[in-house]
Amino acid sequence: MNHTAFQQFAAALEDLAREIVRACRRAARELAVMSWPAMLACCVGLALIISILPLALFLFVLFLAVKVVIGAFIVERGTSLHKTTPDKE
């Protein structure tokens, strides 16, 4: 990595860090002026998003994979049965 590429990379990282700090400060200001019930609702909503959404996505992928595996075995069994039985003509 040459010197100019490193400088560009470092500048991009500095910009990213600056934006993250700005977003955190803005979030802290928003939290400071929130009422307790609104803050409770935000915390409950955030907890639901953090815990239930990944669980739902994981279960969806798991059941989809199980369905594909079972489907592959059923299709394989059906084609092997079809090949071994003689045709009645």
Looking at residue 78, its pLDDT comes to 67
Q: Give the CA distances from residue 10 to residues 2, 16, 22, 87, in Å, rounded to whole numbers and listed in that order.
A: 12, 10, 18, 72
Indicate if 74 and 86 belong to the same structural domain.
yes
| Structural domain boundaries, residue 22 | 1-33
Same domain, yes or no: 49 and 20: no
The DSSP-derived string for the chain is --HHHHHHHHHHHHHHHHHHHHHHHHHHHHHHH--HHHHHHHHHHHHHHHHHHHHHHHHHHHHHHHHHHHHHHHHHHHHHHHHHSPP--
Q: What is the mean pLDDT of residues 66-74?
A: 89
> What pLDDT, on a 0 to 100 scale, did the predictor assign at position 83?
67
The pTM (predicted TM-score) of the whole model is 0.48
Same domain membership, residue 78 and residue 53: yes
Same domain, residue pair 74 and 61: yes
Question: How high is the pLDDT of residue 1?
Answer: 61
* Model confidence pLDDT, tens digit, residues 9-68: 999 999 999 999 999 999 999 989 999 999 999 899 999 899 999 999 999 999 999 999
Note whether 61 and 78 are same-domain residues. yes
Instruction: Provide the pLDDT for residue 81.
Output: 66
Spatial CA neighbour of 66 closest among 78, 74, 54: 74
Domain count, the chain: 2
